[in-house]
Structure 1
Amino acid sequence: MTGHASRPALADTVWPAVPPGALVLVPVGSTEQHGPHLPLDTDTVVACSVARRVADALPPGPYGRPLVAPPLTYGASGEHADFPGTMSIGHEALHAVVVELARSLSLWAGRVVFVNGHGGNTAALDTALGLLRAEDHDAAWTGCEVPGGDAHAGRTETSVLLHLDPGRVRLDAAVAGDTRPLAVLLPDLMARGVRAVSPTGVLGDPAGASAEEGRRAMASMVSTTVRRITAWTVDDRGRLADPARPPSVSRSQGPNAGHP
């Protein structure tokens, strides 16, 4: 993966070096099909990359530097279940994992932020973080979205992966899928799953994707997440609001504007 992160990963740290009260970022991804050209862990790669770069960009707090926890690599991906390779734990299990992780982290950490790379996780994160905040845990979540991005495995995600890990992108296998807006596709996606709408699993068109476009998209996701954490305005679902955007249009989805 290109780039670097100077902040230590929590998994590489020994316990005496973990600062009590630290801000902890927990990437949340998925293991699901991303068309014939992107790897199954695309959402996890994006969430981890955003979390690492955000930790690098944030200044040390009163309890030391931000830490990036190991990612949650399985999410709620039932809409992709008809594609081999997809592994989903569903909303109920994801909700339980997020709640118990945050309760555990609260024994020594300060704030906890779940950095989400898969839009299908939204419902579980909303209910989990709503419960956690009702229990007075200083926790929240935020999505990795690119305004105007296509829905799934299209130009946006392909560009981001070309920037982050180009050797894992199979451009020779990339094909266009259903390019209609997500709002139009959503009823069918909810009722019948992605395969019924797009046999290739692509919602969008990877054509024109580039590493430079991916670099700009990644920079946008990182700067948005830094703003949200710095402002720390949290709604009743535990979502961090973006102070640069009106709440009515602020969306917490996957690594594009409406990632299913």
Structure 2
Amino acid sequence: MFEVEWRRLRAEELRERAAADAMVIIPVGALEQHGPHLPVEIDSVLGETVALRTARLIAAQDNVVVLPCLWTGLSEHHMSLGGTVTLDFPTFFNLIRCVLESVIRQGFRRIVVLNGHGGNDSALRVAIGELSPKLNVPIVQFTYWYAAEKVIAPLLEKQDNLWHACEAETSMYMSLRPELVAEERIRLAEVNCSPTVVELVGGGIYRWCSAQSYSSAGVQGFPSAASREKGERLLTAIAENLADKMLCKNLWEMPWR
């Protein structure tokens, strides 16, 4: 098989990939609480899995390589529930900057930052908006459940997209590491939930709040509707959707300056 994992390639092979204008996918995740039934690695494991499955589909048509997942991000809103490691924004920005600069110095020019954690989304847009013109490279950012929303929604029973430790995330993790899902504890996940500010007031606003303020269990969504089969269908649909988008020539050829 065509190897897509950066960490499994030798330096000379990566120099060859850069010379061949390979696409680079950089998954960015988090290490944070995911309710009473899931471990804290969810966002990083799912983010890297989506990146690798997407890249393996792309590899049939294009040159591509995937960096190891950046395993921590902006998770202050989960700190009160334990098990969480968070960065502040300057550290997160500089981490992204250093990785991007390293990749670009190796000669790569088509770069996707693939986000797997909701708390990173706004910060990544700010970071890439600042860094792309400075580094003179058209960097593309995907948050995978927003990019693949149209294929995710039909596969879910109780939600319209992926939330947190929810029907979607629990299903996908069940399909990957079922032995780490405490299914007998899922009943503890959908308790003491309150509406969020957006649900009460409407969209187009932002107010920071802790996850604990709207869910004592640290869950948003319905993990009781999860299944391994659903998880595999979700991972397949998401990877196919993202691969189509990343292979779109307009993504890389349209003027950006």
| RMSD after superposition | 2.5
Counterpart CA distance in 1 for 2:104 and 2:180 is 36
Partner residue of 1:13 out of 9, 12, 21: 9
**How far 1:168 sits from its partner (Å)?**
1.3
Letter in 1 for 2:127: A
1:125 corresponds in structure 2 to 124
Tell whether the 8 Å contact from 2:3 to 2:9 is kept in structure 1 after alignment.
no
Partner residue of 2:70 out of 72, 93, 99: 72
Tell whether the 8 Å contact from 2:2 to 2:59 is kept in structure 1 after alignment.
no
Counterpart CA distance in 1 for 2:89 and 2:230 is 32
Letter in 2 for 1:48: E
2:148 corresponds in structure 1 to none
Letter in 1 for 2:235: M
Tell whether the 8 Å contact from 2:22 to 2:65 is kept in structure 1 after alignment.
yes
1:29 corresponds in structure 2 to 29
Letter in 1 for 2:251: T
Partner residue of 1:221 out of 238, 241, 245: 238
Partner residue of 1:183 out of 194, 198, 206: 198
Tell whether the 8 Å contact from 1:91 to 1:123 is kept in structure 2 after alignment.
no
Tell whether the 8 Å contact from 2:4 to 2:55 is kept in structure 1 after alignment.
no
2:149 corresponds in structure 1 to none
1:258 corresponds in structure 2 to none
Tell whether the 8 Å contact from 1:7 to 1:55 is kept in structure 2 after alignment.
no
More helix by share: 2
Matched, 1:212 2:211: no
Structure 1 residues 58 and 185: CA distance shift in structure 2, 3 A: farther
**How far 1:65 sits from its partner (Å)?**
3.0
Unaligned residue ranges in structure 1 (runs of 5+): 239-260
1:102 corresponds in structure 2 to 100
Counterpart CA distance in 2 for 1:181 and 1:193 is 10
Where 1:204 maps in the other structure, the secondary structure is coil
2:175 corresponds in structure 1 to 163
**How far 1:110 sits from its partner (Å)?**
2.7
Greater displacement, 133-142 / 193-202: 133-142
Letter in 2 for 1:7: E
Unaligned residue ranges in structure 2 (runs of 5+): 146-151, 154-159
Q: How many residues align?
A: 229
2:91 corresponds in structure 1 to 93
1:134 corresponds in structure 2 to 133
Counterpart CA distance in 2 for 1:161 and 1:194 is 21
Task: State TM-score, norm by structure 2.
Answer: 0.81
Task: State TM-score, norm by structure 1.
Answer: 0.80
Q: Larger C-alpha radius of gyration, 1 or 2?
A: 2
1:199 corresponds in structure 2 to 216
Aligned-residue sequence identity (percent) comes to 26
**How far 1:190 sits from its partner (Å)?**
4.0
Structure 1 residues 67 and 182: CA distance shift in structure 2, 3 A: farther
Q: Give CA-to-partner distance per residue, 1:180-201, whole Å, 9 cap, x none.
A: 5783179999443011211110
Counterpart CA distance in 2 for 1:60 and 1:211 is 27
Tell whether the 8 Å contact from 1:24 to 1:111 is kept in structure 2 after alignment.
yes
Letter in 1 for 2:32: E
